[in-house]
Amino acid sequence: MIIVIQCADRVGLIAAIARLIAKKGYNITSMQEHVDNNENLFFMRLELDRTDGAPQLEDDLRQLLPEGALIKVNPVPEKKIVVLVTKEYHCLADILVRNYFKTLGATVQCVIGNHSTLQDICDRFDVPFHEVPAGTDKTFFEENLMAALAPYEFDYLVLAKFMRILSPAFVWRFPMRIINIHHSFLPAFAGANPYRQAHERGVKLIGATAHYVTDELDEGPIIAQQIIPASHTLSVQDMVKAGKEMETAVLAKALKLVFDDRVFVYRNKTVVLE
């Protein structure tokens, strides 16, 4: 059983939680916690040796913890996702392989692309693909996108190089449920063409960032990041090539963290209990 807790901090919380769990006859096999002293917030992730009695344990914890505590007891172990793409295949291919071999921690319900370029690879993995052309009218595009999503139940939308800016109205439908991979070490080089921006600036490091999508472009809470060296000898194309491998790795790591219920969001920041 997995338990995740986010609440106001107070003295003795860890001891009180541990006593309750022991009293109920569970053994704690893993415990991670963090306190943000500035915000007086407490975060905890627990793994227990059994899964029975989850509803009662959640009720008991709610009585024990400060008012307004966010508690999940035994969240769904395998999430469901929909992947949004354009033409770049590297992140999608990694997701489809992991999905096929059941190492993703989620199941891909479908892939939606604004071009048909990646339909073939989806067909090869027997994953439904829907084309929703972007066009020039964003409202019309997002209405069609919602229509394509309607038949599916999912926990998260994954933007695997989707390369489209979604409107605030669309994002608000899925608060902290849209995950994007951005090809820069945010907050540096937000927006379009970050590798070209990095090359023109002459930076010595380039990076990739996986983050939740909010209505502020590339400003959502960061889940995972990675950087690699970039010398003056690299062209923009060299940076793009190196960056694709990094983007794939960072997105894979971020998805695993989210699917394992290790990411807490607050104040446009995250606590990640790895």
Catalytic residue ranges:
218
Task: For 152, list phi and psi in degrees, rounded to 5.
Answer: -110, 145
Look up residue 130 and give its DSSP letter: E
Specify whether the CB–CB gap between 109 and 152 falls below 8 A: yes
Specify whether the CB–CB gap between 156 and 83 falls below 8 A: no
Q: Which residues contact 203 (CB under 8 A, 6 or more apart)?
A: 188, 230
Q: Which two tokens stand for residue 265?
A: 């969001």
Specify whether the CB–CB gap between 78 and 106 falls below 8 A: yes
H helix or E strand, kind and range, residue 145? helix 138-149
Q: Measured between alpha carbons, how far is 158 from 171 in angstroms, rounded to an integer?
A: 12
Nearest to 180 by CA among 58, 66, 83, 43: 83
Question: Which residue's entry shows tokens 């400003």?
Answer: 219
Task: For 147, list phi and psi in degrees, rounded to 5.
Answer: -65, -40
Beta strands per DSSP E along 49-163: 70-73, 79-85, 106-113, 129-131, 156-159
Nearest to 3 by CA among 39, 38, 53: 53
Q: Which residues contact 119 (CB under 8 A, 6 or more apart)?
A: 113, 129, 131
- Distance set, CA 40 to CA 10, 12, 272 (Å): 8, 14, 17
